[in-house]
């Protein structure tokens, strides 16, 4: 069986997966886990969130994709500033709901179009904050062992800049965050509006997956290095470097993931040769065989 995968990502390009299972409840997911355990071949696994940090190759992904939905999209406000988010809860929705409940510290997430699970795996962040700043614990399911879901403290996830130790065969089912409480709801609403305004002004819409490269450990940001070389607007067929943000690569409608990939290779080579900096990829590259990135 072949299932559309590329079009489920924010790049909206790229090929199919061998299989895609969308699960709405924990019992369904546990049945999927049992079925995977019965397979006598090793199948590559991929957990798909909102696909906003991913580029799927035009050839697709030769494995099984698992996507959470339904009950995993829930968000509940608990006591003392804590909140529980499902793995598929969308960050912009969560940011607005938490702010409307007078909980502070999650406003930054309004501009990040990913799921909570994807954000934990990537330790997503922005505007001076990140998931690690408020995360208390997650519920994690390992698809390849025989164990039930387990609680893992945030301190055990090795969260650092756009990194965690969560593997491709592990799913974040949900988690708990600790936020400030009794905050001024009007002020939080204004902060959210300001972040949305800033994003519209400084980042492009359309088909992209946010920043393609992580910022180097020291010195200038990836976007500054790319801009300095005059690469804004640089095109490889259907892909081009955004004129609004040099670390964003846009893809044309009906374009090709391989064009995005080739443009990333081109940028990386020029930054290495002309500025002596080795850029590292932030977005997850799925189904690419080449190792130029
Ligand atoms: C316009 C735009 C702006 C962006 N701005 C930012 C920003 O400011 N800061 C930032 O950090 N990122 C940003 N991003 C990137 C992206 O939105 C984040 O990395 C987001 O957290 C990814 O979540 P996702 O659900 O889309 O994950 P996906 O892209 O679906 O997956 C990303 C990784 O997480 C894994 N994953 C997904 N869900 C789960 C789960 N439930 N359990 C375990 N693993 C999972 C996937 O297997 C994959 O390895 C931006 C993207 C876009 C398109």
Asked if residues 188 and 135 have their Cβ atoms less than 8 Å apart, the reply is no
* Dist. CA 274 → ligand 1 center (Å): 30
Q: What is the pLDDT of residue 218?
A: 84
As a whole number, mean pLDDT of residues 107-124 equals 98
Asked if residues 259 and 30 have their Cβ atoms less than 8 Å apart, the reply is no
Rounded alpha-carbon distances, angstroms, from residue 197 to 70, 177, 202: 30, 26, 9
| Model confidence at 151: pLDDT above 90 | yes
Q: What is the pLDDT of residue 182?
A: 78
As a whole number, mean pLDDT of residues 152-171 equals 97
CB under 6 Å to ligand 1: residues? 10, 46-54, 68, 87, 111-115, 117-119, 121-122, 124-126, 166, 170-172, 203, 208-210, 284
| Model confidence at 1: pLDDT above 80 | no
Distance CA 111, CA 199 (A): 7
Domains within the chain, CATH numbers bracketed: 3-70 (3.30.43.10), 72-201 (3.30.465.10), 204-286 (3.90.78.10)
* Dist. CA 40 → ligand 1 center (Å): 31
Among 6, 14, 112, which residue has the most ligand 1 atoms within 8 Å of its CB, making it the best to mutate?
112
Share of the chain above pLDDT 70, in %: 99
Give the CA angle between residues 191, 192, 198 to the nearest 5°: 90
Distance CA 245, CA 248 (A): 6
Give 111's DSSP letter: G
Q: 36-69, pLDDT tens digit by residue? A: 999 989 999 999 999 999 999 999 999 999 999 9
* Dist. CA 38 → ligand 1 center (Å): 30
Nearest residue by C-alpha to atom 34 in ligand 1: 118
| Model confidence at 289: pLDDT above 90 | no
| Model confidence at 272: pLDDT above 90 | yes
Q: pLDDT band for 138, please (50, 70, 90 cuts).
A: very high
The catalytic site residues sit at 162, 211, 282
| Model confidence at 154: pLDDT above 70 | yes
| Model confidence at 17: pLDDT above 70 | yes
What's the mean per-residue pLDDT of the chain?
A: 96
Nearest residue by C-alpha to atom 5 in ligand 1: 112
As a whole number, mean pLDDT of residues 22-39 equals 96
Q: Which residues, in sequence order, are CB contacts of 26 under 8 Å at separation 6+?
A: 71, 149, 173
Rounded alpha-carbon distances, angstroms, from residue 91 to 10, 65, 87, 100, 161: 15, 21, 10, 14, 18
Q: What is the pLDDT of residue 183?
A: 81
Q: In whole angstroms, what separates CA 245 from the centre of its chain?
A: 18
**What b/e sequence results for 243-266 when a residue is b if at least 16 CB atoms lie within 10 Å of its CB, and e otherwise?**
eebbbbbbbeeebbbbbbbbbbeb
As a whole number, mean pLDDT of residues 128-153 equals 97
As a whole number, mean pLDDT of residues 263-285 equals 97
Distance CA 198, CA 86 (A): 27
| Model confidence at 290: pLDDT above 80 | no
Asked if residues 159 and 125 have their Cβ atoms less than 8 Å apart, the reply is no
Find where tokens 């399911």 sit: 141
Task: Give the pair of three-digit tokens for residue 192.
Answer: 């959210």
Task: Give the pair of three-digit tokens for residue 34.
Answer: 């049992």
């Amino acid at each position: 069986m072949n299932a559309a995968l590329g079009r489920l990502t924010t790049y909206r390009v790229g090929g199919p997966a061998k299989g895609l299972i969308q699960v709405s409840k924990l019992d369904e997911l546990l049945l999927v886990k049992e079925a995977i355990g019965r397979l006598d071949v090793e199948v590559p696994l991929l957990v798909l969130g909102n696909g906003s940090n991913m580029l799927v190759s035009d050839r697709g992904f030769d494995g099984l994709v698992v996507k959470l939905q339904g009950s995993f999209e829930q968000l509940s406000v608990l006591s003392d500033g804590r909140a529980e988010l499902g793995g598929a809860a969308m960050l912009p929705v969560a940011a607005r709901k938490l702010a409307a409940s007078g909980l502070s510290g999650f406003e930054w997430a309004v501009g990040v179009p990913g799921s909570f699970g994807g954000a934990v795996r990537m330790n997503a962040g922005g505007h001076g904050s990140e998931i690690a700043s408020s995360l208390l614990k997650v519920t994690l399911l390992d698809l390849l062992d025989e164990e039930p879901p387990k609680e893992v403290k945030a301190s055990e996830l090795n969260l650092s800049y756009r990194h965690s130790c969560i593997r491709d065969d592990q799913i974040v089912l949900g988690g708990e965050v600790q936020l400030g409480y009794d905050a001024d709801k009007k002020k939080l609403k204004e902060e959210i509006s300001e972040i949305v305004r800033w994003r519209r002004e400084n980042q492009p819409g359309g088909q992209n997956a946010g920043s393609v490269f992580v910022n180097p450990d020291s010195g200038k940001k990836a976007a500054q290095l790319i801009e300095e070389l005059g690469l804004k607007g640089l095109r490889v067929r259907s892909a081009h470097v955004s004129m609004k943000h040099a670390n964003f690569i846009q893809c044309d409608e009906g374009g090709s993931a391989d064009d995005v990939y080739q443009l990333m290779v081109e940028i990386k080579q020029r930054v290495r040769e002309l500025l002596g900096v080795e850029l590292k990829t932030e977005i997850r590259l799925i189904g690419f065989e080449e190792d130029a990135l």
